[in-house]
A = this chain, B = another copy of it.
Amino acid sequence: MGQSADHLTSNQAQVLRHLRAANAPMTAYQLLGRMQNDRGAVAPPTVYRALKGLEEAGLIRRIETLRAWAPVAAIRPGVVVICDDCGTVRGVEAPSLLESLHQRLAAEGFAEARQTIEVHGRCGDCAEDRA
């Protein structure tokens, strides 16, 4: 069930810990490798089930454009901003923007259920590094 954030299973906690320790999204199989380092035999469903639970709890998101997972609090609706230089990902709230999109689509009769908005580019820190 879509569990709330007040309790994590140990697999979920372990996955979340690895995601938070990384400074960029991790693929499911990268996580699998970490867990195998930690514990020995672990199979893909273990990782995918933990990811599913964490996503439902609003603690992580799949970054569709990277096929990877990040501990971005599910500001949902929200925008994910990804630096292609350093790999960092962060969530950005943009309520007015999303409201205007919503109204735009509603006017055409489209009932919006969810959006995925991912922006790629270069963050301020990386721009400075190359200045």
Contact surface of A with B, Cβ cutoff 8 Å: 64-65, 79, 81, 83-84, 92, 94, 96-97, 100-101, 104-105, 108-125, 127
Contacts and interface: CB of A to CB of B under 8 A. Distances in A.
A87 B121 CA distance: 30
A86 to B, nearest CB: 12
In order of increasing CB-CB distance, the 3 nearest A-B pairs are A109-B124, A64-B64, A112-B121
B116 A111 contact: no
Contact of A110 (B110, B116, B117, B121): B121
19 contacts: A64-B65, A64-B118, A81-B105, A84-B113, A96-B100, A97-B97, A97-B101, A97-B104, A100-B100, A108-B124, A109-B124, A112-B120, A113-B122, A114-B119, A114-B120, A115-B117, A115-B118, A116-B117, A117-B117
